[in-house]
Amino acid sequence: MQHFLASRQGQDIPIKHLYVEYRHWLEREKPFPDVTTELATLARQGDDFRHIVSPEPSDITWRICTFLETFDIRTVYPLLLAMMDAGLDDKEWIEISSILESYLLRRAVCNLTTKNYNRVFLSLTRNLKKEGFGAAHLKHHLLTQTGDSTVWPDDVAFREAWLHRSQYGVLNNPKLVHLFTALNQKFMSSKSEKIVFEKQPSVEHIMPQEWIANWPLPDGSKGMSFVELISAPESDPRSKASRIRSSATQTLGNLTILTSELNAAQSNLAWAKKRPEMMKHSLLPINQTLLERDTWDETSILERGTNLFQKAITLWPR
| CA separation for the pair 50, 295 (Å, rounded) | 49
| CA separation for the pair 84, 133 (Å, rounded) | 9
The answer to whether 270 and 216 have CB atoms below 8 angstroms apart is no
| CA separation for the pair 69, 74 (Å, rounded) | 8
Q: By C-alpha distance, which of 95, 165, 107 is closest to 135?
A: 95
The answer to whether 309 and 159 have CB atoms below 8 angstroms apart is yes
DSSP string of 97-165?
HHHHHHHHHHHHHTT---TTHHHHHHHHHHHHHHH-S-HHHHHHHHHT--STTT----HHHHHHHHHHS
A 10 A CB-CB count for 4 gives 22
> For residue range 6-64, what is the model confidence (pLDDT) as tens digits?
999 999 999 999 999 999 999 999 999 999 999 999 999 999 999 999 999 999 999 99
The answer to whether 200 and 174 have CB atoms below 8 angstroms apart is yes
Element (H or E) spanning 317, and its range?
Answer: none
* In the chain, domain spans: 2-152, 158-211+249-315
| CA separation for the pair 90, 59 (Å, rounded) | 10
Specify the amino acid at residue 32. Answer: F
| C-alpha distances in Å from residue 207, one per residue of 159, 170, 184, 266 | 21, 18, 19, 10
Q: By C-alpha distance, which of 40, 37, 42, 135 is closest to 93?
A: 135
Pairing of strands 202-205, 255-258: antiparallel
The answer to whether 266 and 211 have CB atoms below 8 angstroms apart is no
In the prediction, which pLDDT does 124 show? 96
In the prediction, which pLDDT does 68 show? 97
A 10 A CB-CB count for 148 gives 12
In the prediction, which pLDDT does 192 show? 57
Please list the ranges in the chain whose pLDDT falls under 70: 189-198, 260-267
In the prediction, which pLDDT does 110 show? 97
In the prediction, which pLDDT does 144 show? 95
